[in-house]
């Protein structure tokens, strides 16, 4: 399958996290597994007060025992704020618990606040990322680890696939050089900006490092909503939830430069919900199919990752997963066996 989803495990717009809420997230994972979704992705974030998951591998360990076929992905786990051995060991345990279903997404993180919380120098993030990825790759490959000590629990997959997340040209180049794929995240102006990302950053990096596209994973994650009542849905819960995320997470950037996507969100916020809507993949099922088909021509993604916006009621998101699987994915990815 070529359709997946991402949840950051937050409740609706900052509502408290409860055991019931986590139970519902497990129910969603079971439903996606039964539908044949490819991957459930969980990102990592710290120091915010609205329930964003701080422990993706721990959460995926629970999902591993509640699902049978769906792959389990960190999308994206932070390397510089963690010791690479900790990431390596926990990843191997999740791979064993899931009988070989883990994909390890690794990234650098976006917020200087998190680095301060963990006592890690922000200006060392590139160096720590580089060293950490190499350490983890050596462990997955079964080779000797840089610290000279053994890996206690080896993975089922040899090796576990590693993909990168992209917020800069340097990170994109690192994905092409060291990893098995790259998770692109974009929520606005997809054809224009993802086409530019592909032509100016990712494709040149793949060529530079001698990587073949057929051997490189290209998941694309976005806010996607397919409904005949999409305008009502946008104004009722999708739009307010998207604006909540944009405004809330501006707090975390501290003194570092805000990424281009965050700047776009703020610009769209100032322009209003109505002007933002046509720039997003929120539309009728028929139009979503047409728009994603066009998008694949400018950015050849091979996995569509649907973001669970935290403002979507639980029951509606479960229904949306079915719609996307049955009405969208087979037409956008006709080359796959459905």
Residue-wise pLDDT tens for the chain (338 aa)? 699 999 999 988 778 899 999 999 999 999 999 999 999 999 999 988 889 999 999 999 999 999 999 999 999 999 999 999 999 999 999 999 999 999 999 999 888 889 999 999 999 999 999 999 999 999 998 878 889 999 999 999 999 999 998 778 999 999 999 999 999 999 889 999 999 999 999 999 999 999 999 999 999 999 999 999 999 999 898 888 878 776 766 655 544 555 555 555 556 555 567 888 999 999 999 999 999 999 999 999 999 999 998 888 899 999 999 999 999 999 999 998 87
Whole-number Cα distances in Å, 281 to 55, 222, 252, 277, 295: 29, 8, 26, 8, 11
State the helix-helix crossing angle for 84-97 and 56-64, rounded to 10 degrees.
10
The two tokens of residue 109 are 């993180």
In this structure, are strands 71-78 and 182-185 parallel, antiparallel, or unpaired? unpaired
| pLDDT recorded at residue 69 | 97
Backbone phi, psi, residue 136, to 5°: -65, -40
Which of 182, 92, 180, 96 lies closest to 142, judged by CA?
Answer: 92
Contact by Cβ (8 Å): 223, 211: no
- Burial class (CB within 10 angstroms; exposed 0-12, middle 13-18, buried 19+) of 184: buried
> Could you state, in order of their start, the residue ranges of all structural domains in the chain?
3-233+281-332
Largest separation between any pair of C-alpha atoms in the chain: 59
Considering the domain delimited by 3-233+281-332, tell me its CATH architecture. Alpha-Beta Barrel (3.20)
Rg (the chain; Cα; Å): 19
Distances (CA, A) of 27 to 20, 66, 240, 288, 314: 10, 9, 25, 26, 10
What's the rounded Cα separation, in Å, for the pair 237 and 214? Answer: 38
């Amino acid at each position: 399958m070529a359709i997946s989803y991402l949840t950051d495990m937050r409740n609706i717009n900052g509502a408290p996290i409860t055991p019931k809420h986590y139970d519902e997230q497990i129910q969603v994972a079971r439903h996606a597994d039964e539908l044949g979704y490819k991957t459930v992705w969980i990102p990592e974030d710290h120091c915010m007060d609205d329930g964003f998951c701080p422990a993706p591998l721990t959460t995926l360990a629970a999902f591993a025992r509640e699902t049978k076929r769906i792959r389990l992905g960190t999308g994206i786990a932070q390397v510089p704020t963690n010791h690479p051995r900790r990431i390596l060991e926990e990843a191997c345990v999740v791979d064993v618990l899931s009988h070989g279903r883990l994909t390890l997404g690794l990234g650098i993180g976006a917020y200087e606040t998190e680095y301060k919380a963990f006592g890690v120098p922000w200006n060392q993030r590139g160096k720590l990322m580089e060293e950490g990825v190499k350490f983890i790759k050596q462990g997955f490959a079964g080779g000797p680890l840089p610290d000279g000590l053994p890996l206690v629990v080896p993975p089922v997959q040899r090796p576990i696939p590693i993909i990168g997340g992209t917020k800069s040209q340097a990170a994109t180049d690192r994905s092409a050089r060291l990893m098995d794929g790259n998770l692109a995240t974009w929520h606005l102006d997809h054809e224009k900006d993802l086409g530019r990302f592909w032509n100016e950053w990712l494709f040149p990096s793949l060529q530079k490092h001698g990587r073949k596209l057929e051997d490189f994973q290209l998941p694309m994650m976005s806010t996607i909503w397919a409904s005949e009542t999409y305008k009502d849905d946008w104004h009722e819960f999708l739009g307010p939830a998207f604006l909540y995320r944009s405004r809330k997470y501006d707090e975390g950037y501290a003194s570092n430069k805000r990424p281009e996507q965050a700047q776009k969100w703020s610009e769209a916020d100032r322009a209003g919900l109505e002007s933002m809507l046509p720039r997003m993949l929120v539309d009728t099922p028929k139009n979503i199919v047409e728009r994603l088909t066009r998008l694949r021509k400018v950015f050849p993604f091979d996995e569509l990752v649907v973001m669970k916006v935290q403002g979507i009621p639980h029951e509606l998101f479960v229904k949306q997963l079915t719609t996307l699987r049955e009405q969208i994915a087979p037409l956008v990815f006709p080359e796959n066996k459905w």
